[in-house]
Amino acid sequence: MKLGFRKTSLKKSLKARTTGKFKRSIKKTVNPLYSKKGVGLVSKPKKAIYNKVYKKTSFDLLKLLGLRK
């Protein structure tokens, strides 16, 4: 488990910004549980717990400096 600041990835950041609203809306019509809070804990509990702990124990350096929202 990583402690401290997160290493930013330009590739992943760009991918997150360019994944469109249309693509997400299609996924939501196909899978009604898509993007619902708490579903990850039911479907993949080990990954959900890991992500929760990771988010609590690390921080984004760019967010801390005010360069990112």
pLDDT at 43 over 80: yes
Q: What pLDDT does residue 45 have?
A: 93
1: confidence class by pLDDT, cuts 50, 70, 90: low
Q: Please state the domain extents for the chain.
A: 8-65
pTM of the model: 0.59
Q: What is the 3-state secondary structure (H, E, C) of the chain?
A: CCCEEECCCHHHHHHHHHCCHHHHHHHHHHCCCCCCCCHHHHHCHHHHHHHHHHHHHEEEHHHHHCCCC
- Higher-confidence position of 54 and 4: 54
